[in-house]
Amino acid sequence: MNTLTIGLICLLVATFLGAGVVKGVTGMGLPTVAMGVLGATMSPLTAAAILIIPSFVTNVWQMLVGRDTLRLTRRLWAMMLCIVIGTLLGTRLLVVVDPVWSGRMLGLALIAYAAYALVLPTLSVPQRLESWLSPVIGIVTGLLTGATGVFTLPAVPYVQALGLQKDELVQALGLSFTVSTVALAGGLATHGAFRLDQVGLSLLAVVPALVGMWLGSIVRRKISAKTFRRCFLLFLVVLGLELTLRPFS
C-alpha cells in the first residue's frame, strides 16, 4: 500500500483535506478522521506512520497560536511526560498485534470518544486533583495513542474539564497532540516501523491538511457549530463500527 499510485494520492489528498477541515472547525479530529479513513484501506501501522508529519505540522501551528504555551506547559508537564512514556510502551502493541485487532481497537476508541462527546456530560476537575490525575491521564492516553494512533482519549475530555478559557483550551489540545505525535513517531522509529517511503507519503499529506484547516476556519464562520459537530461525531461512530465489525465479516 506504500507504492505511490494515482489512487493512493487521491485517497491521501481527500482524507487529509477532510480531516483538516474538521480540525479547522473544531480544533481537533485530524488524527481521528485520518486514522479512521485510512485504517479502512490499510493497516493501522501504515496509517499511523503516514499521519506523523501532517499531524505534527498542524498541531504545532495550533499550539503556537496564542500567548499561553509556556504557562500551559508548566501546568501540564506531568501529563505530557506520561503521554510520552505511555506512547512508547503502547507503540509496541501497534507493531506486534495483528492489524485486524489493532483496527478493532481503533474502532472501539472512535465509538467511545464519539459517544462521550454526543452525551457531553458536564465534567469539572478540581485543581487540587491535577497533581496525581494528570500523570494517570497521560499514561492512559499514551498507551491508547501508541496502540491505535489516535490521540483523543482520555486527554481531550480531561483537558476540557480543567476549566480553561477557549483560546487556552485550543492551545492545550495543540500541546497534547504535538507531544503525542512526536512520541508516536519515536515509538514507530524505535520499532523500525517508520520507513523512508512512508515519510514521503506523510509529507505529501501536509498540504491538503493545511488547506483543509484553512477551509475549516471558513466553514466555522458559515454553519452552525452544533450541526457540524453532531454530523462529525455520527461519522466517527459509522467509521468505528466499520472497523470494529470488520474482523467478524
| Global pTM value | 0.79
User: Cα–Cα distance between 105 and 144 in angstroms, integer?
Assistant: 9
User: Cα–Cα distance between 215 and 235 in angstroms, integer?
Assistant: 19
pLDDT, one tens digit for every residue, the chain (249 residues): 456 688 889 999 999 999 999 888 777 778 878 887 887 788 777 888 899 999 999 999 888 877 888 999 999 999 999 999 999 998 887 777 776 677 777 788 778 878 877 876 657 888 889 999 999 999 999 998 888 777 888 898 899 889 888 778 888 989 999 999 999 988 888 877 666 667 888 999 999 999 998 998 888 777 776 777 777 778 778 878 877 886 554
SS (H, E, C) 143-203: HHHHHHCCCCCCHHHHHHCCCCCHHHHHHHHHHHHHHHHHHHHHHHHHCCCCCHHHHHHHH
- Burial-class residue 224 by CB neighbours within 10 Å (0-12, 13-18, 19+): exposed
pLDDT of residue 210: 94
Lookup: cell for 21: 477541515
